[in-house]
Structure formats: structure tokens, C-alpha cells
Amino acid sequence: MGSSATKATAVGVIRRLRAAGHEALLAGGCVRDMLMGHRASDYDVATSATPQQVKRLFGHVLMIGAKFGVAMVIINRRTVEVTTFRSDLSYSDGRHPDSVKFVSAREDAQRRDFTINGMFYDPLCGKVIDYIDGRKDLQAGVIRAIGDPHRRFAEDYLRMLRAVRFSGRFGFRIDRDTAKAIKRRAGRITQISGERIREELEKMCADATAAASLMQLHKLGLLEAILPEIFADTSGWVKVSRRAGAVTSRGDALLTIATMLCDLPANDIRRIVRRWGGSNEMRKSLLWMGEHLDDWKTVPDMPLAEFKRILAHRDFRRLEALWRFEERTSTGGKRYYLAIRRRIKAIDPKQIDPEPLVTGADLKEIGLKEGAILGRVLRRLYDAQLNEQITNRRDALKMARGMVHQDK
Ligand code: ATP
Ligand code: MG
């Protein structure tokens, strides 16, 4: 579908809509970001034109969300989301509005989640259009639900997580009534799908301020609802919050999620990833970090081959961050960390994950059959190679012949 629109593309769309007699404005997150002097990640357009009218004005328009008033205008392979001013009618699933009604800009502002997210901007005359006192809250640093917070969260429980995400990202406080409303229904967060929870958590955890967000999630009762596993152990949360405090400034979502899950039993990790509709990659990464969490103690002395296998793993940097924290918590120092660094430095980078000196085909040529033994021999040979006991093909084959003899 191409990448999100730049401001210039979105403004071009607005000009075109205006020329055709429609109202059209920048809306939502991008207005907030511009007023804060941040670069927006995407520029959304809100308009009085219906999706059908938008479609007629532009050459390439995707109508996937047309029922909800959304038309995706594609210009030079960039996508501009053009949404008709709308109000969301009843929510029976706490997720999607059952239907929408096309309305004025003023009413459209009312269906948005927080005041700081509910403003419009007219880029042609440089004017902010603020029906919900968003600018005031932006200046004061407040996350406040638009309208009655109880009703707004009941419509869509995901908004509870969004409140925490924006609060963490901008260092804003959550208004008292808004926070109260979240606390009251925090337990219902599990009524929305695990995928939506994960996606929101991933966005939250990709922020360098994630540690503060996790703290906030906990204070509001949301974390316990999302991850009761952490609280099964009385010291679970304390450990998680300290670990998060140590590593989340990296803004690495997977690492931050690992701070919460890495010392849970493997079966819990599997169940959580399944509940979240997470990928196999995610599951494997989290399980691997969990499995090797305590290795910092043994890694300076472990066999070279084993060490290299850990080094070669795509999540090694993350694991190392967790190790540093584990060591500091348990010894107060970084002796092992330094020893590990020294050991890494002594290794030729080309020898961390080298091409195997011999392959299965080579072994078949010297008489081995496909099967368990062949696999075992290959692995032992590769170990010897990683341990730098063999450095060329001739020696590798010699060793293979020796092994085959032994196994007979
Ligand atoms: P980000 O920078 O994370 O994209 P954003 O504010 O742009 O932040 P989006 O999810 O892109 O967030 O949504 C765009 C706008 O749509 C929001 O600013 C808000 O006005 C509205 N919005 C999004 N999700 C919801 C929701 N669940 N309930 C009500 N309004 C929402
Ligand atoms: Mg956005």
C-alpha cells in the first residue's frame, strides 16, 4: 500500500477537496504532534466529503474502510487516510462502531478519544480548530477523555491502553476523572482481542519512556489484567519494574516485553504469545531469552562453541542487556559483563557464525546415510569448528571419518 503520507501530500489532498467545494482539514494525532513541535508519523485528513465523493476526485482510492467513512487515497505510492467527519453510533462489541453517521467537524471531534487527539488544523490558512479544549490540555500536559470518560472507555476498552501510551510518550499526567474511569474498568481490558492488546503494548514498549508506562499500567490495574502471570509470584512485579527501568530507554519493544516475560515458566510464555496472537518469531525470541537469562554466570567459561551459538543469535544484544541487569541486581557489579565483553573481543567475527567446513553431502560421500547419526556427526563437527579445533576441510573430513569409525 506504500508508506504514510508526508505533510505535503496530505495538504495536496486537502487543496483538491477544497477546490471541489468540500471542507477538509488535518486531524487528530498529526495536529497534536505539530503543535508539540514533533514530527508526525502520519498525516490524516478529515473531510465533509463522503468516501464515494473522495473516490470520484482521486485516481487511486482504496475503499476498504468506506463503511466507516475511510477512503485511502494513494498518490505517488503514498497513502493518505481521508476520513469523513463522522460520529460513531452504538458499540456492541466494545471495538467497532456498529455503524457511523456522517456529521459536522464539530461532532467528529466528539468521537475522538482524548482532547489532545481531537483537534483539526487548516493548513491553508494556518489555523487550529479546537472544539474540545485540546490546546489547553496540551499546554498543561494532560490526557483527558473527550466527554464522559466512563462512557468513552465502555465504548472501546482499548482507549484505556492508549491513555497510558500517550501519557508515557509525552510525560503527561492522566486527568483524575479519566484515571478513575480506567481504574474502575481495568479488568475488562481482556474483553478486547489479544491482538489489539499486543499491538498497543508493542507501540508503548517501543518508546524510550516505556518503564513509566508500565508503572502507570500497573497503578491503574491494567497490567494485572493483561499479564496476571507476573503477579503469581509476589516479587514478580518488583523485579519486572526494576528490569524495565534498566533497559527500556533503548526503545526496543521486544526487549521491553522480554523484561516482563523472561523469567516466567516457558509454558506461560507460550500461552501469553498465543493469547496475543504473536508471531512464531516473537515466541522463539522470548523463549530463547528466558532460557539463557541466567547464563551470564557461566558464559565466561562455557565452551567456545556454545558461547558462539549464543553470540550468533539475533537476540543476543537484548539478552546481553538483560544479563547486565541480572548481574547488577545479584552482585552489584559488572565483573561478568566485562569478562563477557573481553571474551567477545578475542573472537574473530568471521568465526562466530562461519559456513560449515563440511556438509551433509560430504558425509554421504564418505558413506554415511541420511538420518540421526549424520545429523549428530554434522553437529559435532560444527562444534569442533566453532571451538577452532579444526580450521580446514581436510581436517574436518578426517575428523568425520574418525567419528564414523567410532560410531560403527
Ligand atoms: P500515533 O502517533 O501513535 O499514530 P495518533 O493519535 O495518530 O497517534 P492513531 O491511532 O493514528 O493515533 O489515530 C488517529 C486519530 O484517530 C487519533 O488521534 C484519535 O483522534 C482517533 N482515534 C484513534 N483510535 C481511537 C480510538 N480507539 N477511539 C477514539 N478515537 C481514536
Ligand atoms: Mg497516527
Which pLDDT value is given to residue 407? Answer: 57
Among candidates 288, 281, 346, which has minimal Cα distance to 317?
Answer: 288
Q: Are 377 and 363 in contact (CB under 8 A)?
A: yes
pLDDT score for 92: 63
Residue with cell 490546546: 135
Q: In whole angstroms, what is the distance from residue 133 CA to residue 158 CA?
A: 23
Atom of ligand 1 nearest to the CA of 118: 20
Give residue 404's pLDDT: 74
- Among candidates 104, 102, 59, 81, which has minimal Cα distance to 3? 81
Position 2 pLDDT exceeds 70 = no
Q: Whose CA is nearest to atom 6 of ligand 1?
A: 29
Which H or E run contains 115? none
CATH architecture of 141-277: Orthogonal Bundle (1.10)
Q: Which numbered ligand comes closest to the C-alpha of 4? A: 2
Q: Is the CB of 155 under 6 A from ligand 1?
A: no
What Å distances lie between residue 289 and 5, 141, 143, 286, 398, CA to CA? 37, 37, 35, 5, 36
Using pLDDT thresholds of 50, 70 and 90, give the confidence band for residue 89.
confident
Q: Taking CA 106 as the corner, what is the angle to CA 100 and CA 112, rounded to the nearest 5 degrees?
A: 60
Q: How confident is the model at residue 100 (pLDDT cuts 50, 70, 90)?
A: confident
**Short-list 315, 204, 313, 197, CA closest to 251:** 204
Q: What are phi and psi of 360, to 5 degrees?
A: -55, -40
Q: Which amino acid is at 227?
A: L
Q: What pLDDT is stored for residue 5 in this prediction?
A: 72
From the list 164, 257, 249, 259, the residue with the least C-alpha distance to 208 is 249
Q: How far is CA 248 from CA 18, 210, 329, in A?
A: 44, 6, 16
Distance of CA 101 to the CA centre of its chain: 33
For residue 275, the model assigns a pLDDT of 98
In the chain, where are the structural domains located?
1-140, 141-277, 292-351, 360-407
Question: How many CB atoms lie under 10 A from the CB of residue 224?
Answer: 16
Which pLDDT belongs to residue 405? 73
How far is residue 386's CA from residue 347's CA, in Å, rounded to a whole number?
10
Residue 371's pLDDT is 86
Residues 277-332 have pLDDT tens digits of 999 999 999 999 999 999 999 998 999 999 999 999 999 999 999 999 999 999 99
Neighbour-count burial for 248-267, b at 16+ CB within 10 Å, e otherwise: beeebbbbbbbbbbbbbeee
Q: Is the CB of 49 under 6 A from ligand 1?
A: no
Q: How confident is the model at residue 99 (pLDDT cuts 50, 70, 90)?
A: confident
* Contact by Cβ (8 Å): 167, 138: no
Q: How far is the CA of 264 from the centre of ligand 2 (A)?
A: 33
Cα–Cα distance, 339 to 111 (Å, whole number): 56
Is residue 335's pLDDT more than 90? yes
Q: Closest ligand 1 atom to the C-alpha of 41?
A: 2
- What are 272-283's pLDDT values in tens digits? 999 999 999 999
Dump strand ranges (E) for 272-320. none
Q: Is 159 in the pocket of ligand 1 (CB under 6 A)?
A: yes
* CB of 183 closer than 8 Å to CB of 189: no
pLDDT at 88 over 90: no
State the chain's mean pLDDT as an integer: 94
Q: What is the pLDDT of residues 388-403, one digit of tens each?
A: 999 999 999 999 988 8
**Ligand 1: residue whose CA is nearest its atom 12:** 29
The closest-lying atom of ligand 1 relative to the alpha carbon of residue 165 is 3
Q: What is the DSSP string of 193-224?
A: -HHHHHHHHHHHHTSTTHHHHHHHHHHTTHHH
Rounded to 5 degrees, φ, ψ at 122 are -95, 105
In the structure, what pLDDT confidence band is assigned to residue 372 with cuts at 50, 70 and 90?
Answer: confident
pLDDT of res. 369: 84
Ligand with an atom nearest the CA of residue 170: 1
- Is the minimum distance from the CB of 218 to ligand 1 under 6 angstroms? no
pTM of the model: 0.92
Taking Cα atoms as reference points, which of 76, 136, 141, 84 lies closest to residue 111?
A: 84
Spatial separation of the C-alpha atoms in residues 81 and 44, rounded to whole Å? 5
Choose which residue among 25, 113, 155, 178 to substitute to test ligand 1 binding: the one with the highest number of ligand atoms within 8 A of its C-beta: 113
Instruction: Please give the pLDDT value at position 4.
Output: 73
d(CA 56, CA 341): 61
Mean pLDDT value across residues 211-232: 97
pLDDT tens column, 247-271: 999 999 999 999 999 999 999 999 9
Task: Give me the mean pLDDT over the 367-379 stretch.
Answer: 88
User: Which residue's alpha carbon is nearest to atom 15 within ligand 1?
Assistant: 28
Does 147 score more than 60 pLDDT? yes
In angstroms, what is the span from residue 222 Cα to ligand 2's centroid?
A: 23
Look at the domain 1-140 and name its fold.
Beta Polymerase; domain 2 (3.30.460)
